[in-house]
């Protein structure tokens, strides 16, 4: 069986009928979610239901695109459990039927991957808001997850049936749901497969519900939490280091090493607990993550000692020098913890 196409619709026009006609020609099963459309649009849904033999699910009031997608996926999982997954598309004509078909085919070939219909943002016709908004969120997404996603705004996606259970749990009732799906996919290491699609904008994309600042803030939240965790740990680390250097150790290579070890052990325990349970919300058992963190912890400690000792002859206070060195190790530590220590291994979810 082919993938099931799910299209949320709010007050659609004839473009939706034209789209479904072409999808029917491609022998693609289509589920339309009437997300609280006004009564005057019922004629559109009647045509879809009666003349095109299309499944139409109805929300009595507008619930939002996120809820509509969940409604469609829950229905499809129950009625078409043998389908490889779902293809989500928009009702406003921004997704060409040929591209929807290509995404469906790619999902059939890669049933454990997230298929992304990816537009060319270097196209001269791309509106400024879409081009730069996407670049901002793509960069934020890369920093947050370690995964590359060149088109974070795309609504044309192929989603594995095996991921249904997780999809229905992902928060978000409206347009933020699609960004949350991408974040969860990156966190869970769901492989991405990109399918080039036609770039179609209607009326300069003025009706877009994408907000670069708001959507980027959602991504940056994880980086902010990691920064706060590191800041708290740095306070512990540098306070203990400074205290030990003043009352116990001299400014020798051995003294710096001893103070670094004691300070880093204390701050490392604080950092591990904050990162595991608050920043990355990792639920794996302690053993593996603790061992990996210990290796990273020791490596950072030795690198910190090496660079501080090597540069201690400079006319800079040792504490200031240590802060500069540790700041340089910050980005590498974040990416390693995010992608290897507290990230989940790539997996295929099964609907029980």
Task: Point out the least confidently predicted range of 107-116, 261-270, 340-349.
Answer: 340-349
Q: What are the backbone dihedrals phi and psi of residue 340, each rounded to the nearest 5 degrees, phi first?
A: -120, -45
Which of 179, 210, 241 marks a domain boundary?
210
> What is the percentage of the chain residues whose pLDDT exceeds 70?
84
Given 152, 182, 210, the domain boundary residue is 210
Q: Are residues 190 and 47 in the same domain?
A: yes
The first and second tokens of residue 59, run together, are 């929300």
Whether 187 and 317 share a structural domain: no
Report field, pTM of the whole predicted structure over 0.85: no
Q: Pick the last residue of a domain from 158, 179, 210.
A: 210
Q: What is the pLDDT of residues 139-159, one digit of tens each?
A: 877 876 778 888 888 999 999
- If one counts every other C-beta atom within 10 angstroms of the C-beta of residue 160, the result is 25
pLDDT at 203: 55
Domain count, the chain: 2
Does the pLDDT at position 322 exceed 80?
A: yes
The domain spanning residue 200 has which CATH number? 3.90.550.10
Q: pLDDT, tens digit, for every residue of 267-306?
A: 888 888 888 878 766 666 667 778 888 899 889 888 888 8
Do 38 and 71 have their domain in common?
A: yes
Sign of CA pseudo-dihedral 74, 76, 77, 83: negative
Q: Is residue 348 part of a domain?
A: no
For 156: left if phi > 0, alpha if psi spans -120 to 50, otherwise beta; the answer is beta
- Average of pLDDT values for 228-239? 86
- The overall average pLDDT reported for the chain is 84
Q: Are 198 and 233 in a shared domain? A: no
Whether residue 123 is predicted with pLDDT greater than 70 in this model: the reply is: no
In a domain, 334, yes or no: yes
CA atoms within 13 A on the CB side of 89: 32
| Separation of alpha carbons 94 and 97, rounded Å | 10
- Residue 346's pLDDT is what? 40
pLDDT of residue 201: 63
Kindly tell me if the per-residue pLDDT of 71 is higher than 90. yes
| Residue 57 and residue 94 in one domain | yes
Under 8 Å between Cβ of 65 and 175 = yes
In which domain, by residue range, is 122 found? Answer: 4-210
3-state secondary structure of 7: strand
100 found inside a domain: yes
């Amino acid at each position: 069986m082919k993938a099931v196409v799910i299209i949320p619709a709010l007050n659609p026009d004839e473009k939706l009928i034209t789209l479904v006609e072409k999808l029917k020609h491609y022998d693609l099963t289509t589920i339309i979610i009437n997300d609280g459309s006004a009564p005057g649009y019922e004629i559109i849904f009647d045509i879809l239901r009666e003349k095109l033999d299309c499944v139409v699910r109805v929300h009595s009031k507008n619930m939002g695109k996120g809820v509509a997608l969940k409604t469609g996926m829950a229905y499809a999982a129950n009625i078409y459990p043998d389908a490889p997954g779902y293809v989500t598309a928009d009702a406003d004509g921004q997704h060409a039927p040929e591209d929807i078909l290509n995404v469906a085919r790619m999902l059939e070939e890669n049933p454990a991957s997230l298929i992304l219909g990816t537009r060319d943002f270097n196209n001269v016709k791309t509106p400024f808001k879409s081009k730069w908004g996407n670049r901002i969120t793509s960069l934020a997404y890369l920093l947050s997850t370690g995964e590359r996603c060149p088109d974070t705004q795309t609504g044309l996606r192929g989603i594995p049936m095996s991921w249904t259970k997780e999809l229905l749990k992902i928060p978000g009732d409206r347009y933020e749901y699609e960004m949350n799906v991408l974040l969860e996919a990156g966190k869970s290491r769901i492989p991405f497969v990109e399918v080039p699609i036609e770039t179609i904008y209607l009326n300069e994309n003025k009706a877009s519900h994408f907000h670069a600042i708001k959507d980027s803030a959602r991504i940056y939240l994880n980086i902010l939490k990691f920064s706060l965790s590191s800041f708290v740990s740095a306070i512990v680390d540098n306070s203990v280091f400074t205290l030990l250097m003043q009352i116990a150790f001299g400014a020798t290579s051995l003294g710096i090493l001893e103070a670094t070890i004691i300070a880093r052990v204390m701050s490392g325990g604080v950092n591990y607990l904050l990162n595991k349970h608050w920043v990355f919300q990792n639920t794996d058992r302690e053993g593996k993550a603790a061992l990996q963190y210990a290796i990273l912890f020791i490596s950072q400690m030795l690198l910190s000692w090496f660079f501080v000792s090597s540069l201690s002859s400079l006319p800079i206070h040792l504490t200031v020098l240590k802060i500069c060195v540790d700041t340089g190790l910050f980005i590498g530590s974040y990416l390693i913890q995010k992608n290897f220590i507290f990230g989940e291994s790539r997996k295929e979810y099964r609907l029980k």
